[in-house]
């Protein structure tokens, strides 16, 4: 994120580090810091910075289970990112992903899919395959929720292939377990055992 000359770049870094440090354990404090940072950016007409901290307020509210409040922040952050002079493609992708997650939590599956697809498109446009693969996982979760197991399996096979090629053992083990679970729903016991064995092998390595 390019910081304009009228904005204190060190202060921006400190704000973000403080918010991320606090958001897991002291949400109220993290929210206050994010609010102060957003106001500082707004007073300096720094849309990208304001979008970041408003969006972080949405993430904090989501982690606290305040979905209505979170949606308000996330939509505001998305509008700010869309209005910025310099496009923040990764930021837009994260905004759509976060909004999609809330729709999924609330059972609005069509809206969740729409936002996940937009997120996937933006991540792929900047060749961020790692985050795009995480979005495929979210889309797979929607298909599972809808009982569309065969389609979900196709996505999870894409996901396992990506992690195998990139030798990402942490996500690979989870991908194998997800694939085993889908095969369980499809009543493929031999496949279930095969994928569980793979997950155990990766976890034990």
Instruction: Summarize pLDDT for 162-178 with one digit per residue, the tens.
Output: 999 998 888 999 999 99
pLDDT score for 58:
97
Cα four-point dihedral sign 79, 20, 124, 47: positive
Instruction: Read off the pLDDT of residues 78-135 as tens digits, 9 standing for 90 and up.
Output: 999 999 888 899 999 999 999 999 999 999 999 999 999 999 999 999 999 999 999 9
Enter the DSSP assignment of 127: T
Average pLDDT over residues 183-199: 96
**If phi over 0 gives left and psi between -120 and 50 gives alpha, with beta otherwise, what is residue 8?**
beta
pLDDT at res. 1: 65
| pLDDT digits 0-9 by tens, 106-115 | 999 999 999 9
pLDDT at 182 > cutoff 90: yes
DSSP string, 54-86: HHHHHHHHHHTT-HHHHHHHHHHHHHHHHHSSS
């Amino acid at each position: 994120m390019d910081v304009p000359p009228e904005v204190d770049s060190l202060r921006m870094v400190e704000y973000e580090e403080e918010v991320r440090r606090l958001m897991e354990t002291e949400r109220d404090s993290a929210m206050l810091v994010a609010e102060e940072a957003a106001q500082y950016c707004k007073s300096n007409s720094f849309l990208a910075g304001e979008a970041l901290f408003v969006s972080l307020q949405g993430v904090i509210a989501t982690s606290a289970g305040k979905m209505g409040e979170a949606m308000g922040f996330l939509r505001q952050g998305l509008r700010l990112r869309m209005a910025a002079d310099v496009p923040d493609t990764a930021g837009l992708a994260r905004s759509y992903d976060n909004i999609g997650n809330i729709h999924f939590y609330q059972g609005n599956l069509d809206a969740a899919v729409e936002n996940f697809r937009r997120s996937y498109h933006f991540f792929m446009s900047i060749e961020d395959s790692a985050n795009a693969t995480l979005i495929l996982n979210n889309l797979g979760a929607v298909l599972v929720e809808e009982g569309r197991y065969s389609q979900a399996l196709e996505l999870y096979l894409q996901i396992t292939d990506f992690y195998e090629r990139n030798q990402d053992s942490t996500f690979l083990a989870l991908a194998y377990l997800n694939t085993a679970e889908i095969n369980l729903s499809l009543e493929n016991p031999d496949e279930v055992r095969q994928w569980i064995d793979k997950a155990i092998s990766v976890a034990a390595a």
